Amino acid sequence: MKENKMNALEIHNKIEENKEKSIETLIDFVKQPSISRDVEAVEKCSRYLKSLMIDLGIDTRIYKTEGNPIVYGEVSSNNKNARTVLFYGHYDVQPPDPLEEWDSPPFNPTIRNGRLYGRGAGDNKGQLLAHVLAVKTILEKEESLPINVKFVFEGEEEIGSKSLTKFVENNKELLETDVVITSDGPIHDSGAPMVVFGVRGVMNFQLELKTAKTDNHSGNKGGVIPNPAWILNEVLYSMKDKDDYVTIDGFYDDVLKPTGKEMELIEKLPFDPENLAKVYGVEKIELDKKTFYERLMFLPTLTINGLVSGYTKEGTKNIIPKKATAKMEVRMVKNQNPEDLFEKIKNHVKKINPDVKVIQQEEDMYPSRTSSELPISEKVIAAVKKAYKIDPIVLPSMGGSLPDYIWTKVLGKPSIMVPYANADEANHAPNENMDLDCFMKGIHCSVEIINGLK
């Protein structure tokens, strides 16, 4: 299809013309109380979404899984050699509790001050709908899309995306694509758009040491039996040095150094340590910008999430505890592997104290990163810039974890995150909302991404 600037302008005008209808569609969608664990409501919402997409001209079907259904849609381009983009999102929502803290009912979406308040408005219904409405608007003005578009909307994101991995594993041909785009979470709090290329993985585990059948009198037995809290602390203390570097053998073996381009991106990121300290509730941030972002995006962490031993309530109780536990996690970066790290941690603990048990908790989430230097990555960055008319903040990775590896590792495709919601969307909290300007900008941005990838 040849470039047609007039049509691009017409499409953007059409998006604005359709504004009221688009907001009505969002309101209707948010009315669906699709809390992940409410199987009936989730299934109803999947059928609702399917018929909505079909009405908008998208070939859509529902795939049953062991958990909640996946809504899959596609629109093929007339151009046989066209690229393909896969938009991923989720139609399930968090529970709305505590209800009394909402200013309007969570499933009776209400507009106030240019925002739509309702559970799921930003996370993630407003964002996934932006992609759908972008395709619909292009089809109103053009005979065909410039590229093939696929949609995967799951119903279990808020409870760990358990069925998605299997679905992707079993449907690689169906999901064949050049790139996966996810719009979830907020834009930068400065109002700048963001393009995010990766996440850290997470592995949870627990250290446990039991030294007696019961807690013991700390006077009558003090000095003659071991105290598990002290012993466990020795093990913990052996895991890091004074500069906060992890001393477990091989912990950093697979860590990749940031590339020159990634260092350039770090240079361009905003950095206001005073404000960050305020936001984090700490006295100050003593790291320079380069170290701050390198540690947040390119280095793994070893964190004690909780320590439990003995008596911890008000007042005193003179005991020697019978047991001590440390709840811990590793945030992994690209190339690191949870099974391998778990072995390394176990070997380390065994060397220091073989009585301490290392127990794995829950399932691991692998790290994921797509190169921002791929031609397709550059096209997406350019499209976002065109839509928002400012340079996006480009993050090589975020510090947190999402199941992005399903796209990069299981499907084996580049995956890029372009959030559309306002920074104060209050996702997972009372009064969740989607700024309607952000919603509209999202539709424009999806159009630019689709046009930009041709």
CB of 131 to Zn ion, least distance (A): 17
Question: Interface residues for Zn ion in 44-83 (CB under 5 A)?
Answer: none
Shortest Å, Cβ 425 to Zn ion: 10
Is residue 123 at the binding interface for Zn ion, with CB under 5 A as the rule? yes
Query: What is the nearest approach in angstroms of Zn ion to the Cβ of residue 94?
Result: 6
Spell 251-283 as b/e; 16+ CB within 10 A means b. beeeeeebeeebeebbeebeeeeeeeeeeeeee
Instruction: State which residue, 18 or 182, has the beta carbon closest to Zn ion.
Output: 182
Kind and range of the H or E run holding 205: strand 201-210
**Residue type (1 letter), 87:** F
CB of residue 328 vs Zn ion: minimum separation in angstroms?
A: 25
303 neighbors 331 (Cβ within 8 angstroms): yes
Contact 136, 53 (CB under 8 A): no
Choose the binding region for Zn ion from 62-70, 115-123, 217-225, 287-295 (rule: CB under 5 A): 115-123
User: Sheet harboring 201-210: ordered strands across?
Assistant: 301-309, 323-332, 201-210, 357-365
Question: Which phi and psi (to 5°) does residue 268 adopt?
Answer: -85, -10
Q: Which residues of 295-314 are buried (b: 16+ CB within 10 A; e: fewer)?
A: ebbbbbbbeeeebebbeeee
Please give the Cα distance from 389 to 194 (Å, whole number).
Answer: 13
CB atoms within 10 A of CB 204: 18
Total of chain residues touching Zn ion, rule CB under 5 A: 1
Toward Zn ion, which CB reaches closer, 123 or 156?
A: 123
Please state, in angstroms and rounded to a whole number, the distance separating the CA atoms of residues 304 and 340. Answer: 19
Using the contact rule CB under 5 A, the part of the chain among 50-58, 118-126, 351-359, 436-444 near Zn ion is: 118-126
How near is the Cβ of 93 to Zn ion at its closest, in Å? 8
What gap in Å lies between CA 13 and CA 300, rounded to an integer? 46
What is the closest distance, in whole angstroms, from the C-beta atom of residue 153 to Zn ion in the complex? 14
Task: Quickly tell me which residue has 């910008």 as its tokens.
Answer: 289
Binding span for Zn ion by CB under 5 A among 33-41, 100-108, 117-125, 330-338 = 117-125
Segment contacting Zn ion (CB under 5 A): 122-130, 232-240, 301-309, 379-387?
Answer: 122-130
Residues ≥6 apart with Cβ < 8 Å to 202: 329, 330, 331, 332, 364, 365, 401
Q: Which is nearer to Zn ion, 72 or 91 (CB)?
A: 91
State the minimum distance, in angstroms, from the CB of residue 187 to Zn ion.
16
Complex with Zn ion: residue 74 or 156, whichever CB lies closer = 156
CB of 36 to Zn ion, least distance (A): 10
Q: How far is the CB of 309 from Zn ion (least distance, A)?
A: 34
Q: Which stretch binds Zn ion (CB under 5 A): 52-60, 119-127, 337-345, 410-418?
A: 119-127
Which C-beta is closer to Zn ion: that of 123 or that of 404? 123
Comparing CB distances to Zn ion, the nearer of 11 and 93 is 93
For the chain, give the number of residues: 454
- For the CB of residue 420, give the shortest distance to Zn ion in the complex, in Å: 14
**Whether 306 contacts 208, CB under 8 Å:** no
Q: How far is the CB of 202 from Zn ion (least distance, A)?
A: 16
Could you tell me which stretch among 24-32, 116-124, 244-252, 383-391 binds Zn ion (CB under 5 A)? 116-124
Name the residue nearer to Zn ion (CB basis): 161 or 377: 161
Stretch that binds Zn ion, among 55-63, 121-129, 226-234, 444-452 (CB under 5 A): 121-129
What whole-number distance in Å separates Cα of residue 214 and Cα of residue 319? 10
Q: Which residue is nearest to Zn ion (CB)?
A: 123
Closer of 97 and 264 to Zn ion (Cβ):
97
Which residues make beta-bridge pairs with 307? 326
123 vs 262, which CB is nearer to Zn ion?
123
Torsion of the alpha carbons at 182, 277, 295 and 409, rounded to the nearest 10: -20
| Residue tagged 């770090």 (tokens) | 266
Q: Does 432 bind Zn ion (CB under 5 A)?
A: no
Q: Measured from the CB atom, is 123 or 329 closer to Zn ion?
A: 123
Smaller CB separation from Zn ion, 57 or 160: 160
- Structure token pair of residue 66: 């062991």
Site residues (vs Zn ion, CB under 5 A): 123
